[in-house]
Amino acid sequence: MVETSTEKNWISIHLKDILIGCDREVSIPIVIHNIQSTKRKFNVYVSANFQQKDQMIEWRVVLNTGKDHEYFISPESQDPVKESLDIDEKKDREVALTLYTPKGGSKGDRLNVGIRVESADGIHSFSGSFSITLIPVIIALKTTVGHEVEVARDLYTRSQKDKDERAKGTRDVINEVLSIMSPKEVKGYIFVETMHPDRVGFIAKGIRSFKGEVKGDISVDEITHYLTPKPAITGLELGALVELVDGPFKGERAKITSIDKVKEEVTVQLVESMVPIPVTVKAEAIRMLEKS
């Protein structure tokens, strides 16, 4: 990981290596301070070096020095971008550099970016670099509540069919859906890992109970806790009213009289039983109705 922060008296810039998905943007603000007592010209250069699977794929670069100037760069066309700006004496100007990652990039594609800023009079000069590497992202899809697993299953089936169709015309195609997660605690949403978010929405279009895509990416930290199953006894407490959902007493209501955390078992007493006989069952075999 390369990280460079420069807060010199004439320039402020922060550069670091970035991991990001396809069809996303990276903004790099550059603030130039003209510390001299006369109007001066500054030149901004942006160079690129590519490590990517498809040599034809382009990255879009927008350099704003007062007006947006748009460029398209690729391994086939990677001439340095250059813009000049005049800054009045003792004034500051912000140069906004924005890079847009390609929609059709591959996992591990990398753009190495070099930035050079110098005054035309040769007094000041700065050079720095950073990289942008493409990685899969996690997005959320909206579904009808109660149909999350159904949408996840249909999405996978369609994505596999889409892959098979694309494989007829080219090699090394991947499934646009790398993984799907549908936590039972989350109602109305599923999480999808993909390299190409725009393709997932296209594949999912028309699936029954699919309601659209949530804008933005989901960080792994936001969903990590769903990856570790909670103990079945979580949330259970003594005296709680429950319903037995499995076993010979299925459908009966009962109250919890003891909890064995090690065995993940509970002992309950049937509410409508004439004789208060304790029944021990697995925690998965009951459903909470009312806390004590």
pLDDT digits (tens, 9 = 90+) for 121-179: 999 999 999 999 999 999 999 999 999 999 999 999 999 999 999 998 777 889 999 99
Q: Do residues 264 and 282 make contact, with C-beta atoms less than 8 angstroms apart?
A: yes
Over 60: is that where the pLDDT of 4 sits? Answer: no
- 16-20, 66-70, 224-228: least confident range: 224-228
pLDDT confidence band for 290 (50 / 70 / 90): confident
**DSSP assigned state of 201:** H
Residue 105: both structure tokens together: 């990039």
The band of 185, judged by pLDDT with boundaries at 50, 70 and 90, is confident
pLDDT for the residue numbered 276:
81
Q: CA separation (Å) from 276 to 21, 238, 247, 265, 267?
A: 60, 16, 18, 19, 12
d(CA 10, CA 8): 5
Model confidence at 1: pLDDT above 50: no
- The CA distance from 123 to 292, in Å, is 76
- Alpha-carbon span 240 to 231, nearest angstrom: 17
| Residue 7 predicted with pLDDT over 70 | no
Domains and CATH numbers, the chain: 3-134 (2.60.40.10), 137-227 (3.30.70.940), 241-290 (2.30.30.30)
Rounded CA-CA distance 154/215 in Å is: 21
Tokens of 3: 């990280």
Position with higher pLDDT, 13 vs 224: 13
Work out the average pLDDT over 78-94: 92
Two structure tokens written together for 34: 């003209």
Sorting pLDDT into bands at 50, 70 and 90, what band is 99? very high
Quick one: average pLDDT of 264-270? 92
CA distance 157 to 245: 32
Strands across the sheet containing 179-181: 179-181, 189-194, 137-143, 210-213
The mean-pLDDT minimum among 173-187, 191-205, 232-246, 252-266 falls in 232-246
237 vs 34: CA distance, rounded Å: 68
Reply yes or no on whether the pLDDT at 291 is more than 90. no
Residue 3 in this model has a pLDDT that exceeds 60: no
N-terminal to C-terminal alpha carbon distance within the chain: 53
Look at residue 79 in the predicted model and tell me its pLDDT.
82
The widest CA-to-CA distance across the chain, in whole angstroms, is 98
Q: Which residue has the tokens 């007062």?
A: 66
